[in-house]
A = this chain, B = another copy of it.
Amino acid sequence: MSATNERLTSEDRREQILAAASDVFGERGFAGGTTDAIAKVAGVSQAYVVRMFGSKQELFIAATERACERVIDTFRAAIAELDGEETVVERLAALGRSYVDLIADRGTLLTMMHAFTLGHDPRVGPLIRERYLDIYRFARDEAGLGPEVASHFLATGMLINTGMAMRLPDIADSDDDARELLGCLWGDSTDALVAMTTAAPILPEALRR
């Protein structure tokens, strides 16, 4: 549908399906996201989605791994741009700014959120715990924030993720408290972020329930 009808290499098709899965799982979670919806977004048949990954569970796991990888890559890129002479506060600010890139890719952040809620799952649980600790270790060591600042960074990020999930930016225009809360997290760039997330692309109308 939304994709081209060309024949692709399985690698390209795999990435296309993973991107679709990221959107669908991000919006509806593992149990709520159907392989049919993912197939429609990716522009392939439902059967192909299942066969390529073996099962819906394997697809979710792959989507989760991809999401975590994208998050840590984004943070790593932000730190790599610095010259290494910055203070802790400046490095923290650089990581915070890089969150803009993550928010632009709504599905990544929300898929990760849903993976968090599957901590009891024998497959997803160990995976997401290890990946999240990877992010913590990155912030603490590679970014040089230390334990306290790193945990503060993760906490703020989690509030941002949650705000995104519950679509707080959608009401920031009309609700002073929502705007104020978001403002405490982002300061001056709040308006731009609100505009960005409010206009963020969502699943095609035909796929809404």
Contacts and interface: CB of A to CB of B under 8 A. Distances in A.
Interface of A: 27-32, 110, 113-120, 125, 128-129, 132-133, 136-137, 147-148, 150-152, 154-156, 158-159, 161-162, 165-168, 170-171, 175, 177-178, 180-181, 183-185, 202
B119 A165 contact: yes
Q: Residue among A115, A165, A168, A171 with the most chain B CB within 10 A?
A: A165
Contacts of A162: 116, 158
Contacts of A183: 147
22 contacts: A27-B120, A29-B29, A29-B117, A31-B31, A110-B117, A113-B117, A115-B166, A116-B165, A116-B166, A117-B166, A128-B166, A129-B167, A132-B168, A133-B177, A133-B181, A147-B181, A151-B185, A152-B155, A154-B181, A155-B156, A155-B185, A158-B158
A134 to B, nearest CB: 9
A102 to B, nearest CB: 16
B181 A117 contact: no
Contacts of A125: 166-167
B31 A117 contact: no
